Structure 1
C-alpha cells in the first residue's frame, strides 16, 4: 500500500489552523481516532473502579505489551510501561546497586534530565562520571573510536572499571541518529552494562531488541508512535531484572542480591493508581499506523521529507545541514546551521527569545541549540508536513534572527 502523505493528513490530528507542526520530536501527538478509545477506557475506570484497577486494566496492559513486543522483537515479559523515557532512565539508574567509585560512561549529548540524574548519582552515591564530548557532524566511526579510547584510558588508570554506559539511540539536541548498535557491542565487549535512552526510537527507526541485546532500553511511545502522553516502555532482559525497581516502590518490592532473580519484576512494576489509558491505546495507535500504510511507509516519508526540508531550509539560510559522509545522522529529524548572530545577548537569552517568538508570534516551535560552537535548529519530518512547512520554518528563523540582530 502506498500512501500519499503530507498536509492532507493534518485533518487526522487536532492542530490549530495556523500552527506549523515542525517540532514533533519534543512531545509527539496522536490522531483523533484514538481520542474515543482513550475516553472509553477512562469511562470504564469510573464505572467500577475496583474491578477496573484490580483486574481489567491489568489484562489490557498485558495485551498491549504483547503487541509492542512483536514490533520491537522481544519477549513481552521483558517489557514494562513507564510514563516517559526520563522516568525509565531513573528507574534503572536510581535502583541499580552502584557503589562508591563505580564509573558511568556517557556523552554530553544525553538529554538534560538524564544528565542531571547522573549528577544526582555523583552527588549522593559518589559514582564517577566519564564524559565523552561530541562535536557534530561526526562519522559513526569517529564516535566508536572516541568511545574505545575513553574506555581504554579509564581502565588503564587501575582505579576501577566502568560499570555502565548511558547513551542515546537518537539524540534530542542535536536530533541525530547515534550508532547505538555498534556502541552497545563495544561497551558489552568491555564488560560494561548498556543503558540506551531510545526516547526517539520507536516509530522512527526499526528495533530488534533481541538481536541488539542491550542491558536496558527505554523508548517513548508518545513521541513517534502516536500513542497519547505519557507512554513509554522499559526493556530489561531477565538477566538484569533483579536489580530494577520502580521509582515509586509498591507492596510487591523484594530485594534481590542476584540480577537474574526476576520473580517480582512484573508485580513490582504494575502501574500505581494513575490514569493508565495512554498505556492501553497502543493497539489503537498501531492499528492507525497500519491503516495508513504501516511502519515502513511512515518512516520512509518522514525521513525523506526531513532530508528534503532540511536542504530547503539550509539553502534559504545560506548554511548547511548537519550530516556526515555516510548520511547516517538524519532519521526523521534534521539539523540546520543558523547564520551567525550579531547580538550581545547571552546564549540563554537567545534561546528564550527564539522560544517565545517562535511559539507566540510565528505559531510554531523552533528548537535551537549550540553544538561545536555553532547555533543549529532541529526540525522534524512527519506524515502531516510537507515542504511548505519547512519553508515557513526557515522564514521564521530568518525573521527572528533579524529581530535579534536589530535589538
Structure 2
C-alpha cells in the first residue's frame, strides 16, 4: 500500500462526493469519504473480486497488518494492541460481554452517553446482576473541575469500571478523559473510553492517555469508508476478552503470537477493504494540512455556536473554548417533534443536520468540516429564524 502522489487539493470541497444541493452539517454521524480514499477502497474491493481466495487468505492479512501498523503510529500505540471492528458499538459489546462483572458490581458512566452504548451496558449488566450507573452531569458545564466533581459522585466501593465518551454524541462536548483515567487508576478501577468522534478530530495519544480499553471510529472524522473502527486494549487485559463471534481464530490451528488478534480480527467471510484504506486516509490528512484545517473548522464552530444558541433562546452547553468544543456544536432547542424538525430542515431547507433528544432535551448538532463555509452557517441561521417565526422552535 503506497501513498498516492495525487491527493493534494487546493479546494478541499472538491475532494468530497457530497451532493451539491445539500448543506451537510452531519459529519459527526457517519463522516464522508474523500475521493482518493474511496478510490483506494474500490481498488481493494476489485483486488478481492479478481482473486477472492488469495485476497482473504493470504494478501488480506498482510494488508491488515500493515494498516494496523500505520494506524498505531498515528495513535501512538503498539499495533498488536489494536484490532479492527466495524464500529465502536461492536467494540463496546466485546468488552461488556467479557468483563467479569458479578452481582452488585457497578459500571460508572454519565447520563450523556451514546444511546447504543447505554443499551449495551444495560443488557450485559442486567444479565450479570450488575448495575449501570448513569451519573447525572449538570448542564451547561461551567468548568472541567465541575464536571469531575459531578462524575465522581457516582463512584462507590462497588465500581469496577468507568465508561465514558471523550467527545459526546448528542451534546458534542469534549470531556476531560485524561483526568478521569488518572483518577480511576488511583482508585483502582478499569477505564473504557469511547472515542468514536476523536481520531482525525482532536489529537489522540493512546500511550499517554493510558486507558485500559479505548475504541474509536475511523469512518467519522478520519475520513475512511463506513464500517472501519478499532478497539485498543492494554496487553494485560487482552486474554480476558472472548470473541464476540466465535470463528477460526478461536483455538486456531495456526495460532499467531497474539490470541487477541486471533480471536477478534477475523470473524468469517466479509469485505474488510474499508480497514485497508486507513494508510491512505492518514496520508490524505498529512498532505492536506488536516491539523490546520481542523483548527479553522473549530474556530468557525466556536464563532457561530453562541450566535445560533442566542437565536433560539438557549445557551451553549459549556464554555466555548478548545477545552470543551471541537468541530461540533449542539444547540439546545424547544420543539414539539424533533423528528419532524429534522425532516423539515432537510426537505424544505436542504440542510442535513441531526436533531437529537437526550434526557428530555432536544439538540440541533452541527458539524463543521473543510467543505463548510460561513454561507452554509448563514443558511442554517435563516432556516432557524424561519422555524422560530412558524413556532416550530419556541
Same fold flag (TM > 0.5): yes
Match of 2:214 among 184, 209, 217: 217
Q: How many aligned positions are there?
A: 381
SS at match of 1:224: coil
Of the three residues 290, 295, 320, the one matched with 2:286 is 290
Pick from 323, 347, 363: which aligns with 1:376? 363
Deviations 1:159-196 (A, max 9, x none): xx211111001000101101111111122211111110
Does 1:363 find its partner at 2:350?
yes
Superposition map of 1:228-239 within 5 A: 228-239=225-236
CA RMSD in angstroms, aligned pairs only: 2.4
Matches within 5 A, 1:4-403: 8-138=11-141, 139-151=143-155, 154-155=156-157, 161-253=158-250, 263-272=258-267, 273-294=269-290, 296-317=291-312, 319-324=314-319, 328-338=323-333, 340-341=334-335, 345=336, 350-370=337-357, 375-403=362-390
Tell me by how many angstroms 1:388 deviates. Answer: 1.2
For residues 165 and 242 of structure 2, the distance between their equivalents in structure 1, rounded to whole angstroms, comes to 22
Contact conserved, 2:140 with 2:316, CA < 8 A, in 1? no
| CA distance 1:308–1:233, change in 2 (3 Å) | same
CA pair 402-246 structure 1, distance change in 2 beyond 3 A: farther
- How far the C-alpha of 1:307 sits from its partner, in A, is 1.1
Provide the rounded CA distance (Å) in 2 between the counterparts of 1:382 and 1:372: 28
Confirm or deny: 8 A CA contact 2:136 2:151 kept in the other structure.
no
Larger displacement relative to structure 2 (62-71 or 131-140): 131-140
Q: Are the structure 2 counterparts of residues 405 and 33 from structure 1 closer, same or farther at C-alpha, using a change threshold of 3 Å?
A: closer
Query: Which whole-Å deviations, capped at 9, do the CAs of 1:28-52 have from their partners, x for residues lacking one?
Result: 0110112221111111111111111
The superposition leaves residues 239-298 of structure 1 with CA deviations (integer Å, 9 ceiling, x where unpaired) of 11011133212122259xxxxxx841111122331111110001111111112114x213
Q: Which moved more, 1:397-406 or 1:262-271?
A: 397-406
Local SS of the residue matching 1:309: helix
2:170 and 2:224 map into 1 onto residues whose CA distance is 22
- Counterpart CA distance in 2 for 1:402 and 1:271 is 54
Indicate conservation of the 8 Å contact 1:308/1:387, yes or no. no
Whether the aligned pair in 1 keeps the contact of 2:9 and 2:15 (CA below 8 Å) is: no
Asked if the contact 1:106/1:167 (under 8 Å) is kept, the reply is yes
Q: Distance in 2 between matches of 1:366 and 1:43?
A: 33
Question: 2:195 touches 2:217 (CA, 8 Å); kept in 1?
Answer: yes
Aligned to 1:117, the other structure's residue is in SS state helix
Displacement of 1:221? 0.4
**Partners of 1:380 and 1:196 in 2: CA distance:** 22
Q: Which segments of 5 or more consecutive residues in structure 1 lack a partner in the other structure?
A: 156-160, 256-261
Q: Equivalents in 1 of 2:312, 2:122: separation in Å?
A: 37
Structure 2 gap ranges (5+): 1-7
Cα separation, 2, equivalents of 1:406 and 1:206: 36
Shift of 1:320: 3.1
Whole-angstrom distance in 1 between the partners of 2:197 and 2:121: 20
